[in-house]
A and B are shown apart, each in its own frame.
Chain A
Amino acid sequence: MSDLANKLLFLPERASTFADRIDFLHYFVVGTTMVASAGVGLAALFMFFRYRRRVENQATEYVVPNLKTEFLFVSVPLVFFLAWFAIGFRDFTWFTTPPKDSMDVYVMGKQWMWKFSYPEGPNGVNVLHVPANRPVRLLITSRDVIHSFFVPSFRIKMDALPGRYTQAWFEATKPGTYQVLCTEYCGLSHSKMLAEVVVMAPEEYDNWIKEQRRGRLQDRQDALADNSLVPGTARMAEQGQKLAGTQGCLKCHSVDGSQHIGPTFLGMYDRLEHLQDGQNIRVDEAYITQSMMDPGAHIVAGYQNVMPTYQGKLQGPESAAIVEYIKSLRTANVREGASEGPAYDPIQ
């Protein structure tokens, strides 16, 4: 029954406890709206016909409503609207109050990707892993402009504001992959700021997170503990390495420190670059992304403006992967302080 209603209303699959709650009100509200519009429309059509003009200069009766009629006009809609409000506000309160035992994930929006980090690791870009049937609280913020985190199948949405944390929570009910969209206009690639939530069976998730936190990755986390910019999962960097090859980045940028048509990727991340216009810029995610999309914006001193734009050629996740790849090409010597040996496998 409700599956049919969802198909008719084009609602996406219901995959969270909040979705189950909210869809009932949705049917009620949309149903009442359609019945009311049809009711008013049909009543009007009936009257247009019933009271059509029969004689050219037909006069009419002087009709005014009595108090009872006007009272009816006010009270019927008021009762319906207040009922919607009451149910809606109850559900909204439920939505804004995460259970005490929910697990936390930090979400950061930035032009144009979603970064997820778990308090005890790991981190990821554009893929959020969560267990089914466990409440998850999202602590959402933004690094630049306002974004909005939206998962249609969970029916949840919350703005990501710079300098402030907002929260939202959900409890996924079915393992599967669900799309995340950004719903607050955030600039050029707003429509490409997509991510996904991977809902895993609880045991599967426990194994996954254990795997992520174990071994080499954990060492990396420790080694970089003094740096707030923790690299993403190895998977992203590997994907970025492949993309850098297929997209032709490596034709101009070396990865072994040698100078070529463009600056080398090795040790590029977090380096202070001297620009042609005399200014300095710290190479961060924003700068690397900007250089891919608008290469002429800030040119490093000593290089020509010859790089083509990758605007439209790279998807949001792809450019993020390349950034993650460049980040993985950091050498120990760019870090300050005592070294515990190379944090990454040597470059092949």
Chain B
Amino acid sequence: MTPSSSIAAPGAAPGHEAHHEHGDHPSYLVDGTTVKSWLLTVDHKRIGIMYMFWVLLFFLVGGIFAMMIRLELLTPGPTIMDAMTYNRTFTLHGVVMIFLFMIPAIPAIFGNFMLPLMLGAKDVAFPRLNLLSLYVYLAGAGFALWGMLNGGLDTGWTFYTPYSAHTTTTVAPVLFGAFIIGFSSILTGMNFIVTAHTMRAPGITWFKMPLFVWALYATSCIQVLATPVIGLLLLLVSAENLFNLGMFDVARGGDPVLFQHLFWFYSHPAVYIMVLPAFGVMSEVVSTFSRKNIFGYRAVAYSSVGIAFVGFFAWGHHMFVSGQSTFDAGIFGALSMLVGVFTAIKVFNWVGTVYKGAVEFTTPFAYFCGFLFFTVFGGMTGIAVATVSLDVPWHDTYFVVAHFHFIMVGATIMAFLAALHYWFPKMFGKTYHEGWGLVSAALIILGFNATFIPQFLLGNAGMPRRYYEYPERFQALNVASTAGASLLAFGFVIIALYLVWALIYGKRVDNPWGSKGYEWLTASPPPTHNFVGPQPTYPEEPHFYVDPKKAEVSDAV
């Protein structure tokens, strides 16, 4: 392989002077500096950066709600707010975090930025649609936040009927906001699918696509297929709430459980919308920092598709105690086990990737360690709650809260932070302080465990979720959890500080990791049309670090 001129040889001083002043080909960051040039851009990289701004802002909002919840639960009785405020707070925490942060976080920011680069494309297939999806997302967010500020709603993010149809709080604008955000999700998903099919550079076959692209592809399929279902459902509930229809109202012949089926038909796969991109990020990270090709590339790629597929047939495991038949429970329980097996394949292959590698323990790699633990423990507790009989006592208790925070939030946040640190030099051409990175990673991983391990135990002890007040015997564990949450919040503050510092004063770098991922084949930050001069060639799979002396494939383990 002849590396393109812009990729730095590992260890060699990055040749950054060479490309930062390209003259005719400035980086996407400085190519047009007016506000209009940003707001009306069709450059996938700028759109990714704008998503980053908004998504991080909503993460802050959701995080503040999270801290309010934890503070309220410090004491068994009222602590800092009344019951109605608490019920609204946990609802807003759920809605903001799920719809405005978790679902768009990795695909909309890093997917947008990296996917075309990884495929050797100049942009996504439909650049204008891409910009539209950002504004649709903001419109939906605006609607939802407007509803939250004008009355707020207290249904929980699951909006279960008949409560959501009867509550006097403002349900309709928030549901409508979530409905609009769904379109953004579908548009981005479609864009990625078409881009992966039609815009791969010569030399990039399906099985040479980076695993992050595979993960995004599987995610996009879920988004396109499942999101319409929740869209229709949210419209139906809004209509029921506004016009007193009889869809879900028993008194009018409706069925409240129908809501749950439709809701989880989307929301279970939505878990994989959040976590599959995280898996993709981690495949890139572990490979780069072990300087190894992915162990079992095809198995990891296929398992993403497998999770996406099986994820559609597992929704009923949210409803074991809702009066569904024993037979249904058995089917949904058995199918849920398969998700665990697909995830296990990934986990083993990630660990396998390190085998005979050359590990550099950097901040993104620290997040990989945390991710590994959260995925295994969070994933296996997921299998535990999908075990029908065990779900009976655990259902709707803090055990479930802890489980989904571990896998959905823990794994995704680890991947989000790993991606942020791993691709920070790619996106901005600057680097952050590694020492602070490792300190905050340690704080966050520790804080996360300290927050949610006590919640597993609370669930065992029988504390239901969404409780404003609780029997006194649960207090010690709640205090521990709140302490952990404070540590976690502190970690995020540190990250925010040093990353902003790095943005302004950071050292200029090009490819500090010596990564052989395809996205590093261009300059950092990339020029507007991604590649300048001769297009890179792709004779090898991404992350091919083979020692020329040991070039023969060794069939090991």
| Residues of A in contact with B (beta carbons under 8 Å apart) | 9-12, 21-22, 25-26, 29-30, 32-34, 36-37, 40-41, 43-45, 47-48, 51-66, 69-70, 73-74, 76-78, 81-82, 84-85, 87-93, 95-97, 144-146, 148, 150, 152-153, 155-159, 161-164, 166, 179, 181-192, 194, 311-312
Interface pairs A-B: 3 shortest CB-CB: A152-B462, A163-B250, A59-B547
Q: Which of B383, B387, B514 has the most CB of A within 10 A?
A: B387
Q: How many Å from the CB of B546 to the closest CB on chain A?
A: 5
With contact pairs A44-B351, A64-B296, A158-B321 given, residues A192 and B380 touching in the complex (Cβ less than 8 Å): no
Q: Is the CB of A36 within 8 A of B376?
A: yes
Whole-angstrom CA separation of A62 from B87 in the bound complex: 54
Q: Type the 1/0 row for B542-557, where 1 means its CB is closer than 8 Å to any CB of A.
A: 0011111011111111
Report whether A63 and B557 are in contact in the complex, using a CB–CB cutoff of 8 Å: yes
Chain B 247-263, CB-CB to A under 8 Å as 1, else 0, gives 00011000011000000
Q: Are B389 and A22 touching (Cβ within 8 A)?
A: yes
- Check A60 against B384 for contact (C-beta < 8 Å): no
User: A-B contact count, CB below 8 Å?
Assistant: 307
B333 contact set on A, CB distance < 8 A: 85, 88-89, 92
**How many Å lie between the Cα of A96 and that of B328 in the bound state?**
12
Question: Please, which residues of chain B bring their CB within 8 A of the CB of A9?
Answer: 457, 460
Q: Which residue of B has the minimal Cβ distance to A91?
A: B389
Interface residues of B in 335-388 (CB under 8 A from A): 337, 340-341, 344-345, 347-349, 351-352, 354-361, 369, 372-373, 376-377, 380-381, 383-384, 387-388
Contact A58 B347 (CB under 8 A): no
Across the interface, which residues of B come within 8 angstroms of A148, CB to CB?
321, 395-396
**Interface contact B392-A155, CB-CB below 8 Å:** yes
Do A81 and B337 contact each other (CB < 8 Å), given the known contacts A59-B547, A62-B550?
Answer: yes
Are A96 and B554 in contact (CB-based, < 8 A)?
no
Size category of the binding interface on chain B:
35 or more
Report how far A45 CA is from B354 CA in the complex, Å.
10
Judge whether B202 is part of the interface by a CB distance below 8 angstroms: no
Q: Mark B161-177, 1 if CB is under 8 A from A, else 0.
A: 01100110000000000
Q: Does B283 contact A (CB under 8 A)?
A: no
Check A25 against B355 for contact (C-beta < 8 Å).
no
A52 to B359, CA, bound (A): 4
In the assembled complex, B471 has its CB within 8 A of some CB on chain A? yes
Q: In the complex the two chains form, is B380's CB within 8 Å of A22's CB? A: no
Q: Is the CB of A58 within 8 A of B358?
A: yes
Shortest Cβ gap from A30 to chain B (Å):
7
Closest chain-A Cβ to B287's Cβ sits at a distance in Å of: 10
A32 CB to closest chain B CB, in angstroms? Answer: 7
Give A88 Cβ to nearest chain B Cβ, in Å. 4
Q: CB distance A187 to B299 under 8 Å?
A: no
- State whether B358 touches A53 (Cβ < 8 A): yes
Report 19 cross-chain contacts, Cβ distance below 8 Å, ordered by A residue. A11-B460, A11-B461, A25-B387, A29-B384, A32-B380, A33-B377, A36-B380, A40-B351, A51-B358, A52-B358, A52-B361, A59-B547, A73-B349, A89-B333, A144-B162, A144-B166, A152-B461, A161-B256, A179-B462
Which of A40, A62, A157 has the most chain B CB atoms closer than 10 A to its own CB?
A: A62
B458 within 8 A of A: yes
Known A32-B380, A59-B546, A163-B250: A191·B396 in contact at CB below 8 Å: no
A162–B256 touching, CB < 8 Å = yes
What's the minimum C-beta distance from B5 to chain A, rounded to whole angstroms?
A: 18
Q: How far is the CB of A191 from chain B (nearest CB, A)?
A: 4
Contact B341 A74 (CB under 8 A): yes
CB distance from B300 to the nearest CB of A (A): 11
User: Separation in Å of the B557 CB from the closest CB of chain A?
Assistant: 5
Among B355, B396, B460, contact of A184 (Cβ-Cβ < 8 Å): B396
* Contact residues in B for A311 (Cβ distance below 8 Å): 82-83
Note all chain B residues with C-beta closer than 8 A to A62.
293, 544, 546, 550-554
Which residue of A58, A81, A82, A91 contacts B291 across the interface (Cβ within 8 Å)?
A: A58
13 extra A-B contacts, CB within 8 A, seeds A81-B341, A84-B337, A161-B323: A12-B461, A33-B384, A34-B377, A37-B373, A40-B347, A47-B355, A60-B357, A63-B292, A63-B356, A144-B166, A148-B396, A163-B256, A187-B154
A244 to B488, CA, bound (A): 47
Contacts of A69 in B (CB 8 A): 296, 352, 557
A-contacting residues, B458-474, CB 8 Å: 458, 460-462, 464-471
In this assembly, does B64 line the interface, its C-beta being within 8 Å of a C-beta of chain A? no
Q: Are A10 and B477 in contact (CB under 8 A)?
A: yes
**Please, which residues of chain B bring their CB within 8 A of the CB of A12?**
461-462
Cα–Cα distance between A164 and B546 once the two chains are bound (Å):
64
Q: Are B390 and A77 in contact (CB under 8 A)?
A: no
Q: Indicate if B3 sits at the interface (CB-CB under 8 A).
A: no
Given contacts A29-B384, A60-B292, contact A77 B341 (CB under 8 A): yes
How far is the CB of B423 from the nearest CB of chain A, in Å?
21
Q: Which of B323, B334, B376, B477 contacts A85 (CB 8 A)?
A: B334
CB distance from B309 to the nearest CB of A (A): 16
Kindly identify which residue among A30, A59, A73, A183 contacts B395, using a CB–CB cutoff of 8 Å.
Answer: A183
In the complex, what residues of B have CB within 8 A of residue A53's CB? 291, 358-360
> Which B residues, 502 to 557, have Cβ-Cβ distances below 8 Å to chain A?
514, 544-548, 550-557
Residues of B within 8 A of A192 (CB): 469
Given contacts A9-B457, A56-B10, contact A44 B345 (CB under 8 A): no
Could you tell me the distance between the alpha carbons of A89 and B380 in the complex, rounded to whole angstroms? 17
Q: Bound state CA distance, A85 and B340, in angstroms?
A: 12
For residue B485, give the distance in angstroms from its CB to the closest CB of chain A. Answer: 19
